[in-house]
Structure formats: C-alpha cells, structure tokens
Structure 1
Amino acid sequence: MDEPLKGRIAIVTGGARGIGRGIALELARAGADVLLADLLDAPLAKTANDVRELGRRAALAKVDVTQSAQVDAMIAQAIGELGGLDILVNCAGVISIHPVSELTEKDWDFVMDVNAKGTFLGCKAALPHLRAQRRGRIINVASIAGKEGFPNLAHYSASKFAVVGFTNALAKEVAREGITVNAICPGIVRTYMWDRLADEWKNAGESVEESWQRHQLTLIPQGRAQTPEDMGRLAVFFATMDNVTGQAVNVDGGFTFH
C-alpha cells in the first residue's frame, strides 16, 4: 500500500468525529501517526482505535482550542509522545444559527473563539517547531461559508472568512521556511452541524432526513453530498505537496465557483 506520509506525525483538532475524524483516518491510511485532540471522550477513543487498526500510532489529548496553554500542551504532547510534528490540521469548529438581529455577543464570541482564534492559537503554537525543522504542513478547515455568506450564519461565515484570510496571510509569512499553509473549504457534509442546519431549514411537514435529502439534491450540482473522507483526501494532498500554499480549496460538488 502506498504510504506517502509514512514516518510523519500529525495533529488533528476536532478529530473525534465528522470531518476531523475523516481527515485523521485518511492521514493514517497514508502512513501518518496521529494525535487526536477534542473534548468528546468516547468518540475520541473510538477514532483513536480506528487509527491504530490501520497500523498507525494514535495519541489522545483533551483540548479546548480557545485556551492557549492547552494548545501549547497539545503541541508538546505530540512531540514528546509521538516524536515530532509534521502536519497540523486545525479542524475544531462550532456553529449556531441566528439572524443578526437575534445574535448575542456570547454567540458571536463563542463561534469566533473556536473557529478563528482556535486556528490562530494552533498555528502559533506549532510554528516554532516547524520553523526549527524547516519543514511543515498546516491545514486549516474553513468552509464554503468562508467565501460566500449564508443567512442566519453571519457569525459563522465571518469566522470562516477569517480562517481563509489568515491562511493566505500566514502562508506568505512562512513561504520560504519550508512550511505550507492551506485551507479546506467543505461543502455539504453529513455531520452533526449539517443535521442541525437540515432541522433548522426544513419545510413544513418535512422531516430532518427529508430536508437533508432535498438540500443535497437541490444545492449540489453533482446531486450528492460530500464526505469526511473527501476532506481527508484533500488533506493528504496538501500534506504531500511542496509547492501548493496559501490556497483555500472547495470540496463541494460544484456548489460554489470561487
């Protein structure tokens, strides 16, 4: 089996379930050992076991990505327990659904802190190690909502626009230090977040499942949703490419153009 990432060590925040889990498993299939960081104990343990079943080492860290001390400790754990750090995937993210007229300061701060500040703290903590070894891959998980606004998701879109801009700017800062920085922009993926959206946006008399099916059939030109594994395959691409940096790539079945 081809293992282009054999011997590499990755961190995936938000790695317990959904897109983070899909990325972690694809990195493991490509040969990487993985530290999984999340606040969800049971799903985290399951994903770690699945990584190990692929023949890779897995470490677990309970991390609140909005707390710099915990993020710093996560980086140190990967280096101490797994022996290094080559790939950082900032995937931890949250969502809430409110029109701006009903959006509270607490709602705004929560989404911005996890999605934008969490990405910043992860990158900042990893940079000294990546710079010292003159090589590294940083992969931030943004969203198509980071390129196009959606009603009742202004705060979420703002956080993901921030991730896209931050990714491009940081890529230019470290471009001559052997470090690449890219972003994945998922489209419609059946995760906990999209179940909430399907529930919020269902028509009268429509079940969540019916709403989900309608959205993927009507919004996606390919007529089918994307998967966490799709995001993982793009993460493997970013992790193996030396000359791709500063990009925010959509994986959305043709839903968006830019």
Structure 2
Amino acid sequence: MADSQFSLSERVALVTGGGRGIGAGIAKALAEAGADVLIADYNVALAEEGAAAVASLGRKSEAIVVDVRKPESVQAMIDSIEKTWGQLDIAVNNAGVVSLGGIEDLSVEQWDDLIDVNLRGVFLCCQAEIRLMRKARFGRIINTSSIAGKVGFPNLSHYSASKFGVIGFTNAIAKEVAKEGITVNALCPGIVATGMWRGETGLSGLWALPGETEEQSWARHQQSFLPQGEAQTPEDMGQMVVYMACAPHLTGQALAVDGGFSLG
C-alpha cells in the first residue's frame, strides 16, 4: 500500500476494537498509509496498547475508552475527537464479540449481549460519526461484518444475525449519504487466527472432533472452508480497509477477504 494512490496522509482515522486482532491489523495498515489513528476500546489497557503501536510507526494516536452499546459513551467519543482533532475522516467500526450456542440452548441474554455490541454498537457509532462527517462533507466508514454475515454457521445463529444485519444496515445508510461525500462499506473477514478462532475456547477448539487437538482442528477448518487452504491475516484486513478508505466510488458494498470461501 505504499503507492501514492493509497496515501492517507493528513487523514484522521478511528478504529474501535483496535487494540488487538483484526482491529490492530487495520490500525497498523492505516498508520502505514499515513493516517493518524485513534484507538477506541472498552478495555483501557487494550486501547493504550493499540495507541502505542500506532505511535511506534511514527503517526499520532490517542487511546479512547468507549462502550459502543451506550449512546452517551459513543457521542462523548465523537465530541472529544472533534474538539481535539478537528476532523474524523475514516471510521472503522470493528468492535465485536462472539459466543456459541445451539438454537435450543441460546439464551435471550446471550442474544441481547451479542446484538448490543455487534449491531447496536455499529448503529450508534455510524450515527454519531455521520453527524460529524456531514459537516466536512467527507467521510469513509467501514463496518466490520464477517463471512458469517454472508453464510450462516451452525451454533452461531445470533452472531450470523448480527453480521447479516451489519451488511443490510451498511447498504441502507450508504444510500442515505451517497451525495454528501461519505462512503459506507462493510468488511467481511474470513477465517483469521485471532481469539475468535484460536485456542481451546475459540471455534477451532470448540469444534474439534473427538481425539483431535485444537491445532489439528484449526488445520482441518482451513482446508475444509477455504479454497486457498490457508487462513487470512489481520494484515489482509488492513489492506482492504486502506483500499476502502481511498476509493471514492466504492460504497454500499460488503467485501469479503476470505480465501474464496464465499464464492460458494
């Protein structure tokens, strides 16, 4: 992304959930493209860690603590950005959670908790971000969905519902702001070796066959789900976000970086 057509110099970007995993990969790519990157997270330590990583790349940053489920917290974040930075050019609404549950076992609390972060949080962030971006008549919003927002997964009905919802919401608001210099797109990561997939409590551990180790399960899922046969990386997601942030006529789309999984 070193090409000048992908330069984000003098742009200010916000990444929610930017302290680790996919969010950290996105923040790194934005910083390498020249943007100053603000890291927002519910966990103050993760926000600070993410901001330090951006600063180590020579870009300005700030750690922001936010609860994306709460409108007052989200609006306070945007108000602070406007006061301190004077602009918000790129917003990556990446904060999300995942849990497993079969349809008969899934509790209302599980459903509500996940929808609150993954879908309500995206709504609240977009609403506040657009209010600020409209003042400048410029903005690039990228909402993190998932391949589970294109194809349903068993025992992830609530997660798939939230991510399908992100895609529909993204497409709708893109049309609302299309003539105001603001684009809105969704990123659909495939299988990435972050906390959602890796470890005994990740999907590869929970979906391991009898007698199969987590590592073996991880290898099997890459081969069974992905035509390329290998997982994607946070850096892959960052490259796509930089492209989305630079493309003036790309809007209302849900682009998958998934090694061919969603080809069908």
TM range, normalised to the smaller chain? Answer: over 0.9
What displacement does 1:208 show?
Answer: 1.3
- Note if 1:135 corresponds to 2:144: no
What CA deviation, in whole Å up to 9, does each residue of 1:145-164 have, x standing for no partner?
Answer: 11111100000000000000
The residue matched to 1:193 in structure 2 has which SS?
A: coil
- Note if 1:111 corresponds to 2:114: yes
Name the aligned partner's letter for residue 233 of structure 1.
Q
Task: Decide whether the 8 Å contact of 1:59 with 1:82 is kept in 2.
Answer: no
The residue aligned with 1:174 is: 177
The residue aligned with 1:227 is: 233
Matches within 5 A, 1:31-70: 31-70=34-73
Name the aligned partner's letter for residue 100 of structure 1.
I
What displacement does 1:221 show?
Answer: 0.8
Task: Decide whether the 8 Å contact of 1:9 with 1:87 is kept in 2.
Answer: yes
Task: Decide whether the 8 Å contact of 2:143 with 2:186 is kept in 1.
Answer: yes
Task: Decide whether the 8 Å contact of 1:59 with 1:81 is kept in 2.
Answer: no
The residue aligned with 2:7 is: 4
What displacement does 1:223 show?
Answer: 1.0
Partners of 1:74 and 1:32 in 2: CA distance: 19
Matches within 5 A, 1:20-35: 20-35=23-38
The residue aligned with 2:79 is: 76
Structure 2 portions without partners, runs of 5+: none
The residue matched to 2:197 in structure 1 has which SS?
A: helix
Name the aligned partner's letter for residue 140 of structure 1.
N
What displacement does 1:256 show?
Answer: 1.1
Name the aligned partner's letter for residue 209 of structure 1.
E
Name the aligned partner's letter for residue 226 of structure 2.
I
Name the aligned partner's letter for residue 143 of structure 2.
N
Partners of 1:41 and 1:254 in 2: CA distance: 36
The size of the alignment, in residue pairs, is 258
What displacement does 1:41 show?
Answer: 3.0
**Which contiguous aligned blocks of 4+ residues in structure 1 show a shift greater than 4 angstroms?**
none
The residue matched to 2:220 in structure 1 has which SS?
A: helix
Task: Decide whether the 8 Å contact of 1:33 with 1:82 is kept in 2.
Answer: no
Task: Decide whether the 8 Å contact of 2:44 with 2:63 is kept in 1.
Answer: no
What displacement does 1:20 show?
Answer: 0.7
Task: Decide whether the 8 Å contact of 2:50 with 2:63 is kept in 1.
Answer: no
Task: Decide whether the 8 Å contact of 1:10 with 1:87 is kept in 2.
Answer: yes
What displacement does 1:125 show?
Answer: 0.5
Task: Decide whether the 8 Å contact of 2:82 with 2:132 is kept in 1.
Answer: no
What displacement does 1:43 show?
Answer: 3.1
- After superposition, the CA RMSD in angstroms is 1.2
Partners of 2:261 and 2:7 in 1: CA distance: 30
The residue aligned with 1:198 is: 204
Partners of 1:43 and 1:148 in 2: CA distance: 30
- Note if 1:124 corresponds to 2:137: no
Partners of 2:72 and 2:46 in 1: CA distance: 23
The residue matched to 1:31 in structure 2 has which SS?
A: coil
Name the aligned partner's letter for residue 81 of structure 2.
A
Partners of 1:74 and 1:253 in 2: CA distance: 35
What displacement does 1:46 show?
Answer: 2.2
Partners of 1:26 and 1:67 in 2: CA distance: 28
Partners of 1:43 and 1:63 in 2: CA distance: 12
Name the aligned partner's letter for residue 73 of structure 2.
Q
What CA deviation, in whole Å up to 9, does each residue of 1:199-248 have, x standing for no partner?
Answer: 11001111212211111122111111000111111110010011000000
Partners of 1:214 and 1:77 in 2: CA distance: 46
The residue matched to 1:100 in structure 2 has which SS?
A: coil
What CA deviation, in whole Å up to 9, does each residue of 1:122-148 have, x standing for no partner?
Answer: 000011111111110010000011111
Given the two structures, how large is their TM-score scaled by the length of structure 1?
0.97
Partners of 2:120 and 2:212 in 1: CA distance: 37
What displacement does 1:72 show?
Answer: 0.7
